[in-house]
Amino acid sequence: MTAASATHHPSASDERYGAAAFRRFRQSGKLTLLLTFLPPALLIFTIFVMLPMLNASFFSPYKWSGYGPAPWIFNADTGQTFGDWVGLRNFQQLAGHSAFATAASNTFKIILVSLFIQLPLALVLALMIYEKSYANTIFRLIFFVPYILAEVATGLIWSFVFDGNYGLSRTATDVLGLEEAFFPLADKDWAFNAILAVIVWKYFGFHMMIYIAGLQNISRDLIDAARIDGATPLEIVRYIKLPLLWPAITISIFYSVLGALQVFDIVMPMTAGGPSNSSHTLVSYLYNFGFIRLRVGFGSAVGVVLFIIGIVFAFTYRGTVQRRIAA
């Protein structure tokens, strides 16, 4: 067989089949739905995601305060651009800054706590209350309420809880008979641990609901058949529920890691990154050392690093773990 004869050329039947498929797609209403919702979604994504990231990448090689025109625009009065070109110096300063290392370490701690404490807690609770009953509905509501609260409101509430003068921290010291008040958020050894506890409390209900939805989709007949065959409750969980729940678990892991990279609103009202920059995350570090201090170029460099980390994780995870599940 020659190369020319092996090459496939579209036949009339292929073209008719394609036209018929497109006609069915259009008549089903999916084409109208796609044309209605896709352009606004792309517009919003472009305006609020792509354009800011492009701006950040353009700002990152400049030393610029954020005032006036863009840093690369020529200033006729001074004969220079509005920003000083520094090349990769912002990234070099970033790599050598101890506060950035602390922020990166704290963000990694959030990922670890989310994966090994928050998600297992959510899974255990989901296994306990996924059955449909009035009592379980009440428990689901109680566990899910923290997720409904706004992050800033959550931070403010827990900053009062940890207040050594008026909050529950003061009550605990009184009960224990301690004379000196304890301020966890003012202690370098305790501040970020307190934030980690709040993060677990805030988000475990979200993952619990993902697991409950997955568990309720498992066939009841399959579980009943396993019980008839003599399987114990733990064996049913290990060999039936967990394998069938794995797609929901992978989605939960994906949300946990990406969410950990974005933690900001809880940190600011609780500690604002203190004391002594010990409780910064990557985003709060970007905000404090970039925009609060009018170092937009430096802050943009942090944003570029954060964006690259998120993109690399997202594409790697979806291309490996989630693709295996889909296959």
* Long-range pairs, 106-111, Cβ under 8 A, ≥24: 106/192, 106/279, 106/280, 106/281, 107/260, 107/261, 107/263, 107/281, 107/282, 109/192, 109/196, 110/196, 110/199, 110/260, 110/263, 110/281, 111/256, 111/257, 111/260
What pLDDT, on a 0 to 100 scale, did the predictor assign at position 4? 44
102-116 pLDDT per residue, tens:
999 999 999 999 999
Q: Which domains does the chain have, with CATH numbers?
A: 111-275 (1.10.3720.10)
| H helix or E strand, kind and range, residue 80 | strand 80-81
What pLDDT, on a 0 to 100 scale, did the predictor assign at position 3? 45
Q: Which residues of the chain have pLDDT under 50?
A: 1-6
The pTM (predicted TM-score) of the whole model is 0.86
